[in-house]
Amino acid sequence: MSRYLRYLVPLAIFFILVAFLYRGLSLDPKRVPSPLVGKPMPEFSLPRLKDPAATLSDSDLKGKVSVLNIWATWCVSCRAEHEVLLQLANTGLVNIYGLNYKDERAKAQQWLQQLGDPYVANAFDADGRTGIDWGVYGAPETFIMDKLGMIRHKHIGPLTVEALNSTILPLIAELQATP
């Protein structure tokens, strides 16, 4: 028995190591889990992008399932995900709000005119202070809130059709179904 153990124990240790290393292969160190998931969304009140006189605040996002997308015109991957955002908006399933992060107003408005506007409204976060409250560390980032304004999911990096189909749309449907 102990004779087999002598070979089995190192083999077991080897497989445990393999399991950890294999898991490590599919982890992206750039994706830092947000402590905000499961918490109420941070309060904010910012001028809107298109109409600086009007404000957009967290209370505007409550009472329904909502998506908050953090974007900027200087952000290359934001351009890549824009098409996916338009697709999501076209489903009509959810209101997409934008947080225009550390951007220039004129450029951002031009961007929406040229590429299409998937957003119900955009908050203009010129100094990035609201971005810090949301734990933003690199646009694009996308949050999904339930009807009570709790953050249920954070997608880091550009949205993809796969992410939409596998995670985001099912989650939205689930959140819509709960009162």
Partner 1 sequence: MIKKLVTILALCLLLGTGIAQAGVTLESFKFNTEAEEQHFKDLIEELRCLVCQNQSLADSDAELAHDLRAEVYGMIQEGKTDAEIVEFLVARYGDFVLYNPPIKPSTYLLWFGPFVLLAIAALLLLRSIRRQQKTAANEISTEERARLDALLGSTTSSKDKDQ
Residues that bind partner 1 (CB under 8 A): 29-30, 32-36, 102, 127-128, 132-138
Structure tokens at 23: 């898991």
By beta-carbon proximity to partner 1, the closer residue of 27 and 53 is 27
Structure tokens at 69: 């997308």
By beta-carbon proximity to partner 1, the closer residue of 52 and 138 is 138
At residue 159, the 3 state secondary structure works out as: coil
Structure tokens at 155: 């997608």
Whether 65 and 176 have beta carbons less than 8 Å apart is answered as: yes
Residue 60 CB, nearest approach to partner 1 (Å): 21
Residue 137 CB, nearest approach to partner 1 (Å): 4
Residue 39 CB, nearest approach to partner 1 (Å): 9
| Whole-angstrom distance, CA of residue 143 vs CA of residue 3 | 55
By beta-carbon proximity to partner 1, the closer residue of 33 and 92 is 33
Residue 133 CB, nearest approach to partner 1 (Å): 6
| Whole-angstrom distance, CA of residue 9 vs CA of residue 142 | 45
By beta-carbon proximity to partner 1, the closer residue of 36 and 93 is 36
| Whole-angstrom distance, CA of residue 145 vs CA of residue 37 | 9
